[in-house]
Amino acid sequence: MNYEIVCGIETHIELATKTKIFCGCTTEFGGEPNTHCCPVCTGQPGSLPILNQKVVEYAVKAGLALNCKINTRSHMDRKNYVYPDLPKAYQISQYDEPLCEKGYIELDSGKRIGITRIHIEEDAGKLVHENGYTYIDYNRSGVPLIEIVSEPDISSAEEAKEYAEKLQLTMRYIGISDCKMQEGSMRCDVNLSLRKPGDTKFGVRTEIKNINSLSFIQKAIVAEAERQADILEAGGTIVQQTMRYDEKTDSVAPMRDKENSDDYRYFPDPDILRFSIDEEKVEEIRASLPELPFDKLKRYMNVLGLPEATAKLIFRYRKVAEFFQGALAEGASVKNAANLIVGAIFSNMDTEEEKELFDIRISAAQFAALVKLADEKKINIGVAQGTLQKMLESGKPAEEFIKPEDLAGISDETLERLCREAIDANPRAADDVRSGKDKAINVMFGYIMKKTGGKADIRKAEALLRKLIGS
């Protein structure tokens, strides 16, 4: 029998604030164990938390980017549970008054996946098992997180992956997190149940915890859906439990649960006052948001006319997109600028990270100057690519590498001779041009460019050809 997947995703994202959520300690990754700590983030007796306003701002940014309603009044709650990595035996989080609610992410298909809520909370420390002992590193304790909870609107593994990818890209774009799943700055928990098509009631769900890559989200859902379907087919029932996805065996298995019940005894944290964000501040944050990635993608395709493949390669890295747009602002053509970025600059960048960082030695203006030479046909694309590589290596402008003869090109006499040759070699094309099939002239351009190694001035050649053909 076929089953329908009902899936929701909870995503934890570490915010890239400089300091922790309740104290002045650095959030920097790494560091010797327990060196990014103070009385507050290690829960020393008598210490008190002070809410970092940047965390609230970042969360509001996330909410606005995900089309959420912002609750201008909010408060922090204590979530009580005992685990050695949680120094106060409670996590300061938000329970019944999250900062953001009721947003969505739109998939390519146009389907919207609802965002139930976004709330802020603190991360816990980390247990390190070594030589038969367990050590605790509290460097991550108190690092700010947002938890983004989706509605159970996701109905396939592909949709889940697309949702997570769009979420990741959007959060990176607005600069609140690097969302590195391998390093744990973005972690996904997937809730999944099956039901018969047409059923309105949800089945019993399981939760797959801490998935650390986009493709594992997809694989874990496929594996868990299969596991649940097998059980249901055999007449069994699904047990509500926490699962773990094992990438080595591509399978899902129940996790050994932390030994505590689900009763977190939430209550408002008396140490942190209720807080409010005024409408003005929300609007200020809204105004500070960059063009969001998927709006940009649409614009690249629909307004700039970039082919989908090229547009998708450029929009996803905020710095690349900024560089591209910077070049356009300097007068570079869309097509040449895009092709040079994707064809030449990206050839030096193997990893996603390098593209994300986009650490290059030339400015958008220098790049635009080069693109314009190609736009004006003063140099051909081949020369432009070669020159660009030299510019990237040296950080020097195009003039340093393009020789006067490259620009001067071919003498008028030579060009005229070549034009005659081109017509003689392609009599049918010449006839076509004469009878108004203008595109046929490209055949002769091709001949001339080949003979000159791309150095001919194509506009001059066109004028000459038309004169000689008599069109």
Partner 1 sequence: MRAGISELAARLRNREISSVELTKAYIDAIEKLNPTLNIYVYLTFDTALKAAEKADQMLDEGDAPLICGIPMALKDNICTDGLPTTCCSRILKGFKPYYDATVWEKLKKQGAVLLGKANMDEFAMGNTSETSCYGAPLNPRNTNYVTGGSSGGSAAAVCANLAVYSLGSDTGGSIRLPASFCGVVGLKPTYGAVSRYGLIAYGSSLDQIGPLTNSVKDAAIVFDAIKGGDRRDQTSVDHDYGSSLAECLERDVKGMRIGVAEEFFDGINPEIKSSIDEAIKLFERNGAIIENISLPALKLALPVYYIIACAEASSNLGRYDGIRYGHRASSYTSIDDMITKTRSEGFGDEVKRRIMLGTYVLSSGYYDAYYKKACLIREEINREFDAVFEKCDVLIAPTAPNTAFPLNYKGASPVEMYLADICTVPVNIAGIPAISIPCGEDSRGLPIGMQIIGRRFGEATVLQAAHFYEQSAGKVIDDYEGGAVI
Q: Which of 73, 89, 399, 438 binds partner 1 (CB under 8 A)?
A: 89
Cβ of residue 88: shortest distance to partner 1, in angstroms? 5
Cβ of residue 141: shortest distance to partner 1, in angstroms? 11
Binders of partner 1 in range 56-85 (CB under 8 A) = 78, 80, 82, 84
Told to check if 39 binds partner 1 by CB under 8 A, we report yes
Distance between CA 188 and CA 191 in Å, rounded? 10
Cβ of residue 273: shortest distance to partner 1, in angstroms? 5
Told to check if 435 binds partner 1 by CB under 8 A, we report no
Distance between CA 78 and CA 86 in Å, rounded? 12
Q: Which stretch binds partner 1 (CB under 8 A): 167-175, 201-209, 268-276, 291-299?
A: 268-276
Told to check if 328 binds partner 1 by CB under 8 A, we report no
Size of the site for partner 1 (CB under 8 A): 30
Cβ of residue 189: shortest distance to partner 1, in angstroms? 21
Distance between CA 3 and CA 189 in Å, rounded? 21
The tokens of 460 are what?
Answer: 């001059």
Strand partners, 145: 14, 121
Told to check if 219 binds partner 1 by CB under 8 A, we report no
Told to check if 87 binds partner 1 by CB under 8 A, we report yes
DSSP string, 163-227: HHHHHHHHHHHTTS----TTTTSEEEEEEEEEE-TT--S----EEEEEE-SHHHHHHHHHHHHHH
Distance between CA 112 and CA 114 in Å, rounded? 6
What is the end-to-end Cα distance of the chain in Å, rounded?
A: 69
Distance between CA 210 and CA 12 in Å, rounded? 9
- Let me know: does 233 contact 1? Beta carbons within 8 Å: yes
Told to check if 263 binds partner 1 by CB under 8 A, we report yes
| The residue type at 406 | D
Told to check if 134 binds partner 1 by CB under 8 A, we report yes
Told to check if 132 binds partner 1 by CB under 8 A, we report no
Binders of partner 1 in range 443-462 (CB under 8 A) = none
- Let me know: does 153 contact 118? Beta carbons within 8 Å: no
Nearer to partner 1, 82 or 408 (CB): 82
Nearer to partner 1, 21 or 174 (CB): 21
Told to check if 50 binds partner 1 by CB under 8 A, we report yes
Name every residue whose Cβ is closer than 8 Å to that of residue 34 and which is 6 or more positions away in sequence.
42, 136, 137, 138, 139
The tokens of 357 are what?
Answer: 């960082």
Q: Which of 18, 106, 254, 267 binds partner 1 (CB under 8 A)?
A: 267
Told to check if 128 binds partner 1 by CB under 8 A, we report no
Told to check if 33 binds partner 1 by CB under 8 A, we report no
Q: Which of 20, 36, 61, 88 binds partner 1 (CB under 8 A)?
A: 88
Residue appearing with tokens 């609750």 = 71
Cβ of residue 137: shortest distance to partner 1, in angstroms? 12
DSSP string, 3-43: -EEEEEEEEEEE---SB-SSSS-B--S--STT-S--TTTTT
Q: Which of 90, 315, 317, 324 binds partner 1 (CB under 8 A)?
A: 90
Residues within the interface to partner 1 (CB under 8 A): 39, 42-51, 78, 80, 82, 84, 87-90, 134, 136, 259, 263, 265-267, 270-273
